[in-house]
Amino acid sequence: NQLRTVVQAMPKAELHIHIEGSLEPELIFALAERNGVQLTYPSVEALRQAYAFKDLQSFLDIYYAGASVLLKEQDFYDMTAAYLKKAAADNVRHTEIFFDPQTHTARGVPMETVVNGIYKACQDSPVSATLILCFLRHLSEEDALETLEQALPFRDKFIGVGLDSSEVGHPPEKFARVFARCRDLGLHLVAHAGEEGPPAYIQSALDVLKVERIDHGVRILEDRALTERVAREGIALTVCPLSNTKLRVFDQMQDHNLVQLLDAGLVATVNSDDPAYFGGYMNDNFLAVFDSLPLGLSHAQRLARNSFVAAFLPAEQKQAFL
Ligand code: ES4
Ligand code: ZN
């Protein structure tokens, strides 16, 4: 149909993608074979069957299991190259890729293996791609500080830091010191907040961590004053529609609040989060919301424009996209 053509043709930026969440079951099995890693699932089909989640934690358990096949620099390269090929096919012109080093360093994989593999694939792609190092919020702040130290030799290879993993019970305040340190280092700052957690987590991500964008943030509408402030300040929300329905943040796409977020004047963007697990890449996310919500052509253009407005790009590079 016509909207599919429009969505495909629009240049877009992707601002919320976990590279470990782009590992397709076929690549998980190929890497397990290549590295002699034993998987608890007998086949690609059996693994894919297990992708029925009831909440964020039930997803994270299987996502960390999938990432266990990543050992060598080539593995990180191959995973990232596969994602960038999908992004290019969806006419994604710029992407800011999250990676979770602690998922790998905890298994004895060196930081340099992780960073260099992902970074080299970015350099070899026609898509503009930058990296955002995410701290796992279920681990301690000491662990995050140690991870930052390990990453400092590669400071020029990532543009910012984020905060992901299990949200409820791990408020942004827990990471105040490490984010202050990252701010001093001139890194961009983002955090997942208001996905499963309350609007108070969005507020403390802004006021305590001083983040520049909120990842997810869909629960913001529960707090009118906060909604008005975030709209006024132009702080973007990186919304992930297929993720939100797969993790039961919304029961079905018809219940998603993307229209209300846009109507509230918020700089909302559409992103894929963990495309291999949630049923689709960038254009699949766009088409899913347009199939289920009262959105039209002008909204599509607004969302695509927002993605570049909210990107961490130098002004002149941003202008070239707008
Ligand atoms: C994630 Cl959807 C989501 N939420 C929080 N942390 C994550 N890590 C990977 N995907
Ligand atoms: Zn995410």
Ligand 1 site-directed mutation target among 164, 250, 278, most atoms within 8 Å of CB: 164
The DSSP secondary-structure symbol of 90 reads T
pLDDT at 87 exceeding the cut of 90: yes
- Spacing of C-alpha 73 from chain mean position: 21
Does 164 contact ligand 1 (Cβ within 6 A)?
yes
pLDDT in tens, 183-221: 999 999 999 999 999 999 999 999 999 999 999 999 999
Does 215 contact ligand 1 (Cβ within 6 A)?
no
Does 320 reside within a domain? no
Q: Which of 45, 195, 228, 233 is catalytic?
A: 195
pLDDT at 101 exceeding the cut of 90: yes
Residue nearest to atom 6 of ligand 1 (CA): 165
Does 122 reside within a domain? yes
Q: Which CATH number fits the domain that encloses residue 161? A: 3.20.20.140
Nearest atom within ligand 1 for CA of residue 195: 4
**How many helical (H) and strand (E) elements, i.e. helices and strands, does the chain have?**
17, 8
pLDDT in tens, 271-288: 999 999 999 999 999 999
Query: What is the value of pTM for the model shown?
Result: 0.98
pLDDT at 2 exceeding the cut of 90: no
User: Which string of DSSP letters, residue by residue, matches 92-143?
Assistant: EEEEEEEE-HHHHHTTT--HHHHHHHHHHHHHTSSSEEEEEEEEETTS-HHH
Residue 273 is assigned to a ligand binding site: yes
Does 195 contact ligand 1 (Cβ within 6 A)?
yes
* Structural domain count of the chain: 1
Distance from the alpha carbon of residue 192 to the mean position of ligand 1, in angstroms: 8
pLDDT band at 168 (very low <50, low <70, confident <90, very high): very high
Does 7 reside within a domain? yes
CA dihedral of 300, 7, 195, 163, whole degrees rounded to 10: -110
Distance from the alpha carbon of residue 164 to the mean position of ligand 1, in angstroms: 6
Does 82 reside within a domain? yes
Answer yes or no: are the C-beta atoms of 38 and 32 closer than 8 Å: yes
Distance from the alpha carbon of residue 228 to the mean position of ligand 2, in angstroms: 24
Ligand number, closest to the Cα atom of 201: 1
Rounded CA gap, 76 and 292, in Å? 35
Q: Which domain holds residue 299?
A: 2-310
Give yes or no: 96 in active site.
no
Does 319 reside within a domain? no
Residue 192 is assigned to a ligand binding site: yes
Residue nearest to atom 8 of ligand 1 (CA): 165
CA dihedral of 159, 165, 169, 174, whole degrees rounded to 10: -30
pLDDT at site 179 = 99
Does 194 reside within a domain? yes
Rounded CA gap, 277 and 263, in Å? 29
Does 322 reside within a domain? no
Does 321 reside within a domain? no
The complex's ipTM?
0.97
